Each structure stands twice: as C-alpha cells, then as structure tokens.
Structure 1
Amino acid sequence: LLPLGLVQLLGGPAVGACPCQDPRLCHPVTGTGGFEVFVFDVGKETWRSYDWSKITTVAAFGKYDPELMCYAHSKGSRVVLKGDVPLKEIVDPAKRAAWVSQQVDLAKKQYMDGINIDIEQEVNETSPEYYALTELVKETTDAFHREIPGSQVTFDVAWSPACIDKRCYNYTGIADACDFLFVMSYDEQSQIWTDCIAKANAPYLQTLVGYEEYITMGIDPGKLVMGVPWYGYDYVCQNLSQ
C-alpha cells in the first residue's frame, strides 16, 4: 500500500499490539500493481460497501478505524494518513522535520502504509512557502520510504496547474519528490468572479486540458492519478437571464 507489527519498527517508538485477528495484517502493504484506484474514506461504515476487488489505496480522512485498516490489508489495499499543516509552520526546517517525524510515528502506530498530503492552501511563487512546500514533500517521502519500506506518499493538486485558487505550487518539483499526484478533477468552477452559472462539476474538455497542462510541464503521465467526483451540485435557479 515486513517487519512484524508486534515489534518496534525501524527507528520509531514501540508500536502497540496489532488490532487485527491475524497479526500478519499489520504488516505494511508493499505493492498493489501498476494501476491505481485511490479512494478517500471520510469515516463511518461506507467502506463496507466498497468494491475491494479494484481498490489499491484508501486515504483515511475520517476518524481512524482499525477495523478498516485490517480489512483493507486483508484485500491487499493500502491505508494512508491524511497530511495537512499550515504552510507558515513548515518554513522553518526544524519545525518541518518535527512534522514529518510525527506523521511517520503516527503511521507506524496505526499500522498504515503511507500518507496523502492534502494542503490546498494559497502559495505565491516568490514566497518562502513555495520552496518549503516542495521540501516538505521531499522530506516526507524520504522519511516514509526509509522508515516504512514500500510505503506510499502522494500529493493532492487542483484540476489544472494554472494557479487554481491561488495555489501556485512547484508542481514539477513536487511530482518528482513523491510517488504520484492525485489530480482533483472536480469542483472546477472554483474560480468564478462573476455570477455563478450552472455547469458540470468536471467538464470533459476542461478536465482534459488540465491534464495536458500537467504533461506539457514535463510531469510523467504515469504519476498522475485522475480524481473522479462521486457527487454533483443541485443548482437552484434564482432568476431568469432571458
């Protein structure tokens, strides 16, 4: 997503007893094949209805559920942390290192297989945060790969690299630094400065243009995972324009 889950893992604090009936399910998932099916889980019991024959990674954005971790591992699927931090706090290299260490320790404690970094904060290309964010991704990837062999580190990006919602990131540097980018090909009407007109959540041609922009920047298409929305919006008509 193999050291035993009941012993101390490399370089970190002692890990508690494995919560799974089969202790082998607390081993990290080290490989899931080349085609990635990445699911965001927001808690409760929805995961019981997933098609586990297809899922390779679950990003746990809800409350940690050891039962989900055990079941996902039984199906050969990774379970990864959500990673978020105010960017002003990681400009300082020492604070950045402390954050990375905390995430690695938490992943070990919960027998997880990596981290999905979901920042979604405004960044100016000339700011200290621009460079600090790239370093954060690189240092997180290095630490996870070293401490949890086979682990996965990913980063969420907008549907286009064109400074969507003022997120002017070093996209090529971040892509090089992690395992892949998860492209959020949804909510593509986020930058609307005039009246909001009903439109698709993920317009087909607009979505394709976003991927072309990433690829034109030199990012390997194999490091781009397409995010597909499982929802839409109900636009309520406020007045007739014609």
Structure 2
Amino acid sequence: MAGQREGELCVRVLALALAAIFALGARADDCPCADNALCRPVSGDKSFELLVFDVGGTDWTHYDFSRVTTIAAFGIYDPQLICHAHAHNVRVVLKGDVPIKNILDRTQRKNWISDKVQLAKQQFMDGINLDLEDPVELKSEGYYALTQLVNETTQAFHRDIPGSKVTFDVAWKPGCVDGRCYDYAAIAASCDFIFVMSYDMQSQIWDDCIAKANAPYNQTLLGYTDYLNLGIPATKIVMGVPWYGYDYPCLQLLEGDRCMIRSIPFRGAPCSDLAAPQVPYDVLMQLLPRSITGRFWDDVQKTPYFIYMVNDTYHQVWYDDPQSISMKAAIINKLNLHGIGMWNANLLNYDDPKAAVQTKEMWNALIPH
C-alpha cells in the first residue's frame, strides 16, 4: 500500500512538473538544452546586478558568467546562449521595443504584452528589458500609457513566468531629456529596476556647438542624485556605461583643443552628437596609435580624448576607457546602487590576442572600488 501511494505521489509530481512546463508556453521536448532543467526560468535575486546588453553573434562565449547576472538579448535568438546562461544561473531577457503611439489603446497594449510573454515562454527566457525612448509630453496620453505599459508588463511577466524580471531603460537623468518627459518614479516603482543610460549626454547641446565627452563624470553623478531625489530606492537603480565613443569632425580646432562641430538639431536643441558617428571601443583603440596627440585626459569631464587628421580635417574623439569607467563605477558604492551594465558587450575585440589586455581591463573596470 505504501509503495502504491509513493508511486501515485511520483506520478502527481511528474504531472505537476509537466504542467509547469506547459504553463510556460512550451513543451518539454521543445527544450533546446541537453538538460530540460535548463529551460526553467532562473529564480532568486542578486545582491549585485551585472546587466550585459548583447546584440548577437558568438561574443557571449567570452563573457565571464561567474560575474554576469542578466543578459539582455537584443540580437537574433540563440538557444545555446539560453542553455549556457541558465547553466550558470544567469538570466536572459527579451528586448521590449514598441512605439508609444501603439500602446495608447488598452487593448493594443494588452495584446503587445501578451505577445511578448508568449515569446519569452517559447524561447525559455527570464523576463524583458523595456527600451522605449520616444518623446512624450508631460501629463499627456502617452505619459500615462507608458507608465501603464510598464506596470501591466511587470504584472503579466511575474504572473506567467515565476522569477522573471522586467526592467526599463531611462535617460541619464530624469526630467525631459530628449523630450522624454516620463513619470520616472512611477515607472521605477512598477518594474524590478531601472537601467540608467549614463551616456549620449550630448544628444542635446544647448550652448556652443563644441564636441564634448559622451559621459562626463559630474553629469553622471548628477543624474543618479536626481533619480534618488525622486524617491527611487538605490536598490532599484543600475548604472549604464558606454563601451563606445564619438568621432567628431571639426569645422575648426580652436585654442584649448575646442572642436567646433556641425549644427545638427535634435528634439529642439540646436546641436547634438549626431554630428559624429558612434565608434566601438575596439575600433577606437586601433585609431589611437594613429592620432597626432596620443591619449589626452580632460580633468573637468574626467574622460579621455585624442585628435587625428584625415586629409585636412581634424577629428576629435571622445570615449570612455578603464580609467573613466572605474571612476563612474565607484559611484555605485558611494550611492549604494544595485549594479552596473554596459552598452554594449559586443564592442570589444574578443578574437585578437593583442586586444586581450584591453578587453580584460574594460570588464574589470565594471567592478566598483
């Protein structure tokens, strides 16, 4: 009799396990991993978040999975990434991107959320990173719809994928940067944490059209202070740092290495970093030896730069390197923030042995001291 009851119990446990898998929107035999357990959502909270944005390819095979906690998969779906990440208790989350005009209607919003939850289930993912950067007017229809989207997305993912995380990418400071007049306090309260994009700080240049650092230290610190002043808990804030720079062609190179740039307006500002292309860190390191200045350090903005020439045009390149990133990472301990991440992990050279030291130093710079 006892053996029969034990057998019935095993059957019930198995049935519950299968039901759980079906509840996640996928069959057990759909799991791409050798071990079906690796298709279950990662659970548990991390005391320190290292959020990695990955835009595809196989660079992820070089990441340090003993330190990474979440990978935001912005590239083509790679089931092997899911298996490897889950084997190391690392979450992989979807990219969530939708024009705000498409989520004004409650039904449209609900359908979009439902589609994303279903996709996450089918791909055995652990949540979603919401990356919406449309301009929104204060107290407008879009202002309220965006907050509702974050709240409803979080509720749906938490309900349907236990242990999942919903995060939201925000500008380097609250307010109306680039016309994004969002309800940042309500958004932070609705999701698991916000990722502060502490870069592209010259997207709107309101004074002279002069090239400046992508992520000056003082502006970076100001942004976090402003978010904390909104009442957002430090434990809900993750710092974002750039692994790229801007290559500004100079109309004129003035005294003090002031580089005059083209006036390209952006969302109301007369000038912007649209005057320069973004350049990956690994490409910058190839450009640096060919510069006419070598690496210079700006002690006001606390970032490096260099100047090179093409034909008769001076180019001024502003970027971040291990020194400037380490200084910003120290803010995490200063303000007790929840962690750090970068845009994006694919901007280093993982294949050339000559770049191995550069790559290691950039990853190590993410460790707050």
TM-score (norm 1): 0.94
CA distance in 2, matches of 1:218, 1:74: 36
Cα contact 2:18–2:28 (8 A) shared by 1: no
Deviations 1:83-132, CA, capped at 9 Å, x for gaps = 01111111111111111100100000000000000001100013101000
How far apart are residue 5 of structure 1 and its match?
9.5
CA distance in 1, matches of 2:167, 2:64: 22
How far apart are residue 82 of structure 1 and its match?
0.3
- Cα 1:4/1:171, change in 2 over 3 Å: farther
CA distance in 2, matches of 1:172, 1:65: 34
CA distance in 2, matches of 1:71, 1:141: 25
Cα contact 1:6–1:15 (8 A) shared by 2: no
Q: Which has the higher strand share?
A: 2
Query: Out of 80, 83, 98, which is 2:111 matched to?
Result: 98
Deviations 1:140-198, CA, capped at 9 Å, x for gaps = 00000000011000000000002110000000110000000000001111112455423
Cα contact 2:129–2:168 (8 A) shared by 1: yes
Comparing 101-110 with 81-90, greater Cα deviation is found at 81-90
The count of aligned residue pairs is: 240
Matching of residues 115-154 of structure 1 within 5 Å = 115-154=128-167
The one-letter code of the counterpart of 1:177 is: S
- Cα 1:119/1:15, change in 2 over 3 Å: farther
Deviations 1:208-235, CA, capped at 9 Å, x for gaps = 0000000011111110100011112233
How far apart are residue 6 of structure 1 and its match?
8.6
Local SS of the residue matching 1:232: strand
Aligned to 2:244: 231
Matching of residues 165-184 of structure 1 within 5 Å = 165-184=178-197
Query: Out of 86, 98, 108, which is 1:85 matched to?
Result: 98
Q: Which has the higher helix share?
A: 2
Unaligned regions of 5+ residues in structure 1, if any? none
CA distance in 2, matches of 1:18, 1:105: 15
CA distance in 1, matches of 2:128, 2:120: 8
Cα contact 2:28–2:36 (8 A) shared by 1: no
Q: Does 1:8 align with 2:22?
A: yes
CA distance in 1, matches of 2:98, 2:29: 26
Query: Out of 47, 55, 69, which is 2:60 matched to?
Result: 47
Cα contact 1:15–1:109 (8 A) shared by 2: no
Local SS of the residue matching 1:58: strand
Q: Does 1:64 align with 2:73?
A: no
Local SS of the residue matching 1:40: strand
- Cα 1:147/1:164, change in 2 over 3 Å: same
Query: Out of 175, 190, 199, which is 2:203 matched to?
Result: 190
Q: Let me know the Cα RMSD of the aligned residues.
A: 1.9
CA distance in 1, matches of 2:82, 2:214: 31
The one-letter code of the counterpart of 2:79 is: P
The one-letter code of the counterpart of 2:181 is: C
The one-letter code of the counterpart of 1:76 is: N
Cα contact 2:127–2:166 (8 A) shared by 1: yes
Cα contact 1:172–1:219 (8 A) shared by 2: yes
How far apart are residue 15 of structure 1 and its match?
7.2
Instruction: Flag the structure with larger Rg.
Output: 2
CA distance in 1, matches of 2:73, 2:207: 36
The one-letter code of the counterpart of 1:84 is: D
Q: Does 1:162 align with 2:175?
A: yes
- Cα 1:49/1:134, change in 2 over 3 Å: same
- Cα 1:3/1:218, change in 2 over 3 Å: farther
CA distance in 1, matches of 2:221, 2:29: 46
